[in-house]
Amino acid sequence: MKASIAIFALGLALLVPTASRADAPKDIVDTAVAAGNFKTLVKAVGEAGLAETLKGKGPFTLFAPTDEAFAKLPSGTLEALLKDKKKLVKVLTYHVIAGKVLAADAAKLTTAKTVNGHSLTIKAANGNVMIDGATVTKPDIVASNGVIHVIDTVLLPK
């Protein structure tokens, strides 16, 4: 009797769909990779040695410039950053805030301290949130270790 109950339970377990690892929320880096429009950012994060950090526990808030945002940089800027790891880390960490800050919360702030120690200026007006002059084009992409807000401009620390 006990054996038939165990076999029945095993059969039910096989029939009931469960969330696969593929369905589980991805970390910030894997979420950016999967999106497909952050190839330059992902490459830069790798070159800077920050991938493991952004795959860590967090939580983090990432203001993520798209490939189009990187393309708007003056000629040679990206190439120069990729050759200078110290400057690259400074620029990339200027896009990250410790903690999970959703758009509704960010819209109530005027500044936010980045993980590189500098502060971003935040303005909310006419339904848009601006981060140091960059527009948040897609907010609140939730990852397992934080949140990504897509921005249209690369943020450069002053």
pLDDT, tens digit (0-9, with 9 covering 90-100), for 17-64: 444 445 667 999 999 999 999 999 999 999 999 999 999 999 999 999
Residue 132 belongs to a domain: yes
Domain hosting residue 119, numbered range? 22-151
**What pLDDT sits at residue 158?**
80
Is residue 11 domain-resident? no
Cβ-Cβ contacts under 8 Å for 35 (sequence gap 6 or more): 141
**Measured distance CA(158)–CA(140) in Å, rounded:** 26
Say if 137 falls within a structural domain: yes
Give CA–CA dist 22/19, Å, rounded.
8
What's the CATH code of the domain at 89? 2.30.180.10
- Residue 13 pLDDT level (bands cut at 50, 70, 90): very low
DSSP of the chain, one letter per residue? Answer: -HHHHHHHHHHHHHHS----GGGSPP-HHHHHHHHSS-HHHHHHHHHHT-HHHHTSS--EEEEEE-HHHHHTSPTTHHHHHHH-HHHHHHHHHTTEEES---HHHHTT-SEEE-TTS-EEEEEEETTEEEETTEEEEEEEEEETTEEEEEESS-----
Per the listing, tokens 């897609």 go with 138
pLDDT surpasses 60 at 8: no
126 pLDDT band, cuts 50/70/90, is: confident
Bridge partners for 111 per DSSP: 121
Provide the number of structural domains found in the chain: 1
Binned at pLDDT 50, 70 and 90, residue 78 comes out as very high
Query: Would you say residue 41 lies in a domain?
Result: yes
3 part of a folded domain: no
Q: Which pLDDT band, with edges at 50, 70 and 90, does 6 fall under?
A: very low
Classify residue 124: in a domain, yes or no.
yes
Q: Is 136 inside any structural domain?
A: yes
- The answer to whether residue 116 sits within a structural domain is yes
